[in-house]
Structure 1
Amino acid sequence: MTGAFDDLLTANEDFSRTFEYSGLTGRAARGLAVVTCMDSRIDPLKLLGLNPGDAKILRNAGARVTDDVLRTLILAVYLLNVDRVLVMPHTDCRMAKSTDEDVHELISREYGIDTRSLEFHTVANQDAALRRDLVRIRTYPYLPDRLKVGGAVYDVHTGKLMPVEL
């Protein structure tokens, strides 16, 4: 694992010299799970005033509540101290600017790969998708009724969260 990753390995050497998190457990100290996008403009710990160990961070394209997110939330709730979930998509998201067909076509045209067997979970209406995802968590039969579920859109241009109510 050299060459393409040398910068990361060097940075990790520096990080490990002053590593201070060895006492943390795998449990969410603040009882929080955050479902957000993989967009690199989002720093979920910093923007929410959290520290390492405070929350479980689940990331995917578009911050969608997929089957895998639900599976992960079950583990987080029952095994890792999570009692509240924040679903946090963001402004200026590529997944909200395309359809699945657009993405399939682009990948096929540019790279010659047929991705039509995949769902990319693009978002035609971000507000409606967020509300649907919140309902999906709240009504999922394997998650407890006591689980607190909230949603907010993160503005990547201002750093502000815009809460969304059901």
Structure 2
Amino acid sequence: MSDDNGAAPTGGAFEDVFTANADYAAQYALAGLKPVAARGLALVTCMDSRIEPLDMLGLKPGDAKILRNAGARVTDDTLRTLVLAVYLLGVDRVLVLPHTRCKMASVPGDDAVHDVIMEEHGVDTRSLEFHTDNDQQGALRHDLERIRHHPLLPAGLAVAGAIYDVDTGRISPVDF
């Protein structure tokens, strides 16, 4: 939202990020970067702030398309985005990368999350699907199969899974 002059509001809850962006913009060096994935990679990972997708995979800006959501799950929206990435943005391989100690893999199911949010905040979230699954390996296997068998994705698309360890920074490939 902006004021009458088109400027971003100052002060308040976002002042720190607006100030940081001004510093970033003063040194901005990514102008002209092409919108394709230079290394052909799409990464599906979690929104967890302990994950630094570029650094942990030896990537730089422009190398990959990074899709983040709670639990690194392959949802319908993830599949929609992968279709676009494959056909329009140079993606020819997909890595699905959940992580250790993920909240979405440590609860017994969506009902438990709905109950906690209702009890602690009084908000009924039952209209949402959170895709929780405390069988992280099983969820990863399921998600890889969703990509491999999606009718709009090419049959030869390289698809792999791995688990990121938030305590060591190491990635362990998983072979399904």
Q: TM-score, normalised by structure 2?
A: 0.92
| 2:141 pairs with 1:115 | no
Matched residues, percent identical?
64
Identify the residue that residue 85 of structure 1 maps to in structure 2.
Answer: 94
Matched residues, number:
166
Q: TM-score, normalised by structure 1?
A: 0.98
Mapped to 1, the partners of 2:122 and 2:46 lie a distance apart of 26
What are structure 1's unaligned runs of at least 5 residues? none
Deviation string, structure 1 residues 65-103 (Cα, Å, up to 9, x no partner): 000000000000000000000000000000011121110
Quick check: which has more Rg, 1 or 2? Answer: 2
Mapped to 2, the partners of 1:18 and 1:116 lie a distance apart of 44
Identify the residue that residue 60 of structure 2 maps to in structure 1.
Answer: 51
**Root-mean-square deviation (CA), in Å?**
0.7
1:148 Cα deviation from its structure 2 partner: 0.4
Deviation string, structure 1 residues 95-122 (Cα, Å, up to 9, x no partner): 0111211101001111111111211100
**Residue in structure 1 matching 2:135, options 125, 135, 138:** 125
1:125 Cα deviation from its structure 2 partner: 0.3
**Residue in structure 2 matching 1:161, options 161, 165, 171:** 171
What are structure 2's unaligned runs of at least 5 residues? 1-8
Mapped to 2, the partners of 1:67 and 1:128 lie a distance apart of 18
Mapped to 2, the partners of 1:62 and 1:115 lie a distance apart of 17
Mapped to 2, the partners of 1:96 and 1:143 lie a distance apart of 27
